[in-house]
Structure 1
Amino acid sequence: MIYDPEQTRNTSCQSCVCRSGMWECLDISCPGRCKIEEGTHFTTFDNKYYTLKGDCTYFAVVTNSWVVNIELRPCQIAFKQTCLQRVMLINNQTWYTFTNDGNVYSEGNKVGLPFSRGDVMIFRQSSMFLQVAMNSGMKMQVQISPVMQLYISLPEEAQGSTKGLCGTFNDNANDDFLSAYNIVEEAPLAFVNSWKVESDCSETENPVPCVSLENEHYAKQHCSFLKDPVGAFAMCHSTVDYMKHYQMCVAATCACENINDCLCAGLGAYVHECAAHGIILRNWRENICNVSCSKSQVFEDDMRTCNRTCLSLSESDYTCSVQDVPVYGCGCPEGKYMDGNRVCVDSSECPCYNEGRLIEKGQSINMHGMPCICQDGKLHCIKATADPDPPGN
């Protein structure tokens, strides 16, 4: 793109003005983001990119107060592809486990969403993304469809506090391969092997190339949608370089059993990166990546759960306080509310909630000596009036 003198260009991390043929840029406070995509492709907080084929559980982020572990396993023996199977968050000695089928467990027990305890919040931002937020400023998005992917963001004030596969987060990519033994490795394999949680895992390897010429042709043909100068991705080209994402899409799709799942995850990774830079891409899922939502839900490229649940009618919706990268997926349209069965209904069909207790619509209860009835997702209570004084007093 060509900019005129004094014209500005804003990104998520900089504001720039064109002067005398050069950009004069002002840095804006910017979060660091670690990305684990297609189970093989890693980008550290300081934007160092590497690939690996793992078969173990690894420390992704290690801090003094919390840890994120990831479990990588082969997806299909014949194709020797690595998939992200589980993500574990350990905070204050409490474990939260996220599985690739979209379930969340705490200390072995399945957790109902939305969930809030202590300084951890977990909720479903869309049918395809789970959102985690902590009071420390750490945010985590766990993509569960079409394949499991992981995005972790940290505020600028967290710089210098991390180790693990996501790097050191100190604006210096040169020391991102800091091993668990405090040695900066030259190559990723020795670095990755040092951050294994289990000692008896097989050695980490480099990813395999394309498994067939047919797969390679299909991958290059369909991943090239990212490069189309007039296609659905074009409006982001001047902000996010598509070449790395094209190469990642081809590599992942080449080695994939469920080839369209990997293709759509690769295209979606570019969409997510564009959203992180403030650009929402639309109409990119046509044909191959089209998603069928349940009857009451709709697909949006900027889906939000904020104030779209029956629970939000009864009490303040804490999900509204979490600002992270916009995500795509199915959910309730504006004006509808998701009930406990994940069906989008009118407010008149919503139950009510009070201190963890569910009250069906139209049900009457007594609260603090007052009769209350559940209507439109809210409890309506009638304050008792004092009896009038008897005659003669």
Structure 2
Amino acid sequence: MSSQKILESTAQAFANSWEMMPCPKGSPSSCVSIETEVSCPTGLVFNYKVKTCNSSCRSLSARDRSCDIEDILVDGCTCPDGMYQNNEGNCVQKSECDCYVEDETVQPGKSILIDDNKWYEGDLPCKRGCYCPVGMVRNSKGICIHPDDCPCSFGDREYEQGSVTSVGCNECTCIKGSWNCTQNECQSTCHVYGEGHYRTFDGESYSFDGLCQYTFLEDYCGQENGTFRILTESVPCCENGLTCSRKIIVAFQDQNIILQDGKVTAVQTAESEDCERSASSYSIHTVGLYLIVKLLNGIILIWDKYTKVSVILDPSWQNKVCGLCGNNNGDLKDDFTTRHSSVAAGALEFANSWKTSQECSDTVTQSFPCDSNPYCKAWAEKKCEIIRDDTFRDCHSKVDPTTYYNACIEEACSCDMEGKYLGFCTAVAMYAEACNAAGVCVSWRKPNLCPVYCDYYNAPGECSWHYEPCGTVTAKTCKDQVIGQKFSSLLEGCYAKCPENAPYLDENTMKCVQLSECSCFYNDVIPAGGAVVDDCGRTCSCTAGELECSVSLAPTTSVLSTSAAVTTGARSSTS
């Protein structure tokens, strides 16, 4: 601090501020002005802020140990900016610095044999040891191979030459030690599960569990010409306010498609100009434990019939959506964009902005199960360790388990309701699903750990239905075969191996049947050969799983109310 109580930046200014009087000419040598010029050796310059870290040529070749301690700035002689001090103490340009390899000093322009996986010319003395023959290299196992046979690395694993692995929707092939990948534009996924654990399309994870109805996803985004809106609302249990299920409403083409209580219901919100188009605006499929709703615009919802909902978008929707799922623009930094197009500082402000009604109060603070049940936390941490232990060992390098582990602890902290609220199983199932998507199938369920009972579907004496952690649809289905084949490898659940005399799986009844026995669905299951009058006034008959409708007899103004068949007999430990 100077005499004027100013914090000076240099010792020179500090010292001069405390001088009593200027040094007169001819004064004794004991009175020396700080202005006196300091003499430095040739090539060095005086500086009041000299640092030692990374100032030498040697620091360019290896870690400078002087950087391990706090670098206190001192006054002294140092190299000019952009130059480095060599072993002789001279300041040289970076290009003139020696290189240092272990105990060897290599002059500029010289080259040496650093390792036996790449050749350099040099004149260093030979060292005794075992080397690969000329033209061959050593792999990670110490075996000499031809360079064209070098493996590739991905996620802490090695893949042999010619191996193919999937990264998202792209396939990568190992060619001569390097990956050659396709450049497909991939679909993006957003999901929510349990006590409000969200992951946006761009990969931002956050937790929010408000008591209102919120916009999960839409394409209106402040405009009036949107085409769809997906709303979400938590449905609490009777005890402790835990979320035991989630209500989803899809507003699309004059209909509200409602996912609630294990079933799908469609309600027409206004008289449609095209009754037939409105009736076919979506389709429903059962794959494993999940129900898949496919909209006519290509958007796909995957629902576990409890708290987990995923929405899948094609690349054409990039940067065209908004809501709790984010804007799908590939940038995490603006995922918390509010309804008013500003970027919120946190999840609370962001999520509250997407309420559908201002009459519902904002969520000010959040209380998760571990806050209410701290005595459960030790039990929860022990249970959730399955995500980080050897069970999922092969997946850890591809999917970081940290976020899923932390979410699992929050879910498992409802330990006193584990028989009713099975959030722990849902949390582990979420990580298993992420692993499946990354190409790692893990069979983690056991008879005493979140079991799935597929025997419910087996008729007495039959054994067609089995649980599969990464199912494969082998049976033909009465409905769209493509959906089942596309998602079965990613979704666990009960899968049938239908016999030759009944090769078709009827998703409405979950039975193996002949094609002529395939049922249909309109407000209720319509058996093969049955008929119904639809809301367009047409008479429709069920033939081989398809409704064949006659020409409409008269226009209708009735409210459409249809439900999709959902068989919930196979009780799974997911919520």
TMscore range, shorter length: 0.7 to 0.9
Q: Could you report, residue by residue, the CA deviation over 1:106-161 in whole angstroms, capped at 9, with x for unpaired residues?
A: 1189xxxxxx94341112223x21101124321110112xx421111111121011
Residue 52 of structure 1 corresponds to which residue in structure 2? Answer: 208
Q: TM-score, normalised by structure 2?
A: 0.54
CA contact (8 A) 1:66 1:92 kept: yes
**How far apart, in 2, do the equivalents of 1:331 and 1:135 lie?**
27
Report the Cα offset of residue 338 of structure 1.
4.5
**How far apart, in 2, do the equivalents of 1:194 and 1:9 lie?**
41
Residue 332 of structure 1 corresponds to which residue in structure 2? Answer: 496
Residue 429 of structure 2 corresponds to which residue in structure 1? Answer: 268
1:217-296 paired onto structure 2 within 5 Å: 217-229=378-390, 231=391, 233-255=392-414, 258-259=417-418, 261-293=422-454, 294-296=456-458
Residue 3 of structure 1 corresponds to which residue in structure 2? Answer: 158
Report the Cα offset of residue 3 of structure 1.
2.5
Read off the aligned partner of 2:250 and give its amino acid letter. Answer: L
RMSD: 3.5
Q: Alignment partner of 2:158: what SS?
A: coil
CA spacing shift, 1:98–1:358, aligned 2, 3 Å: same
CA contact (8 A) 1:38 1:266 kept: yes
Q: Could you report, residue by residue, the CA deviation over 1:40-74 in whole angstroms, capped at 9, with x for unpaired residues?
A: 10011111111012111110001121111111243
**How far apart, in 1, do the equivalents of 2:159 and 2:300 lie?**
37
**How far apart, in 1, do the equivalents of 2:321 and 2:520 lie?**
40
Does 2:467 correspond to 1:299? yes
CA spacing shift, 1:201–1:306, aligned 2, 3 Å: farther
1:126-165 paired onto structure 2 within 5 Å: 126=288, 128-144=289-305, 147-165=306-324
CA contact (8 A) 1:280 1:302 kept: yes
Does 2:505 correspond to 1:344? no
CA contact (8 A) 1:9 1:15 kept: yes
Q: Alignment partner of 2:436: what SS?
A: helix
**How far apart, in 1, do the equivalents of 2:178 and 2:166 lie?**
15
**How far apart, in 2, do the equivalents of 1:341 and 1:4 lie?**
43
**How far apart, in 1, do the equivalents of 2:395 and 2:218 lie?**
33
Residue 202 of structure 1 corresponds to which residue in structure 2? Answer: 361
Percent of aligned positions that are identical = 24
CA contact (8 A) 1:53 1:81 kept: no
CA spacing shift, 1:305–1:69, aligned 2, 3 Å: farther
Residue 192 of structure 2 corresponds to which residue in structure 1? Answer: 36
Report the Cα offset of residue 13 of structure 1.
4.9
Residue 389 of structure 1 corresponds to which residue in structure 2? Answer: none
CA contact (8 A) 1:5 1:20 kept: no
CA contact (8 A) 2:194 2:411 kept: yes
Read off the aligned partner of 1:168 and give its amino acid letter. Answer: N
CA spacing shift, 1:235–1:185, aligned 2, 3 Å: same
CA spacing shift, 1:97–1:209, aligned 2, 3 Å: closer
Aligned length: 346
CA spacing shift, 1:328–1:92, aligned 2, 3 Å: same
Report the Cα offset of residue 2 of structure 1.
3.7
Read off the aligned partner of 1:104 and give its amino acid letter. Answer: V
CA contact (8 A) 1:81 1:256 kept: no
Q: Alignment partner of 1:246: what SS?
A: helix
CA contact (8 A) 2:214 2:356 kept: yes
Read off the aligned partner of 1:11 and give its amino acid letter. Answer: V
User: Tell me, which stretches of 5 or more residues in structure 2 are unaligned?
Assistant: 1-155, 220-225, 270-277, 459-464, 531-541, 547-575
Q: Alignment partner of 2:382: what SS?
A: helix
**How far apart, in 2, do the equivalents of 1:291 and 1:244 lie?**
25
Q: Alignment partner of 1:289: what SS?
A: coil
**How far apart, in 1, do the equivalents of 2:511 and 2:246 lie?**
29
1:15-34 paired onto structure 2 within 5 Å: 27-34=183-190
Report the Cα offset of residue 244 of structure 1.
1.3
**How far apart, in 1, do the equivalents of 2:518 and 2:511 lie?**
15
Which structure shows the higher strand fraction?
Answer: 1
CA spacing shift, 1:256–1:160, aligned 2, 3 Å: farther
CA contact (8 A) 2:231 2:250 kept: yes
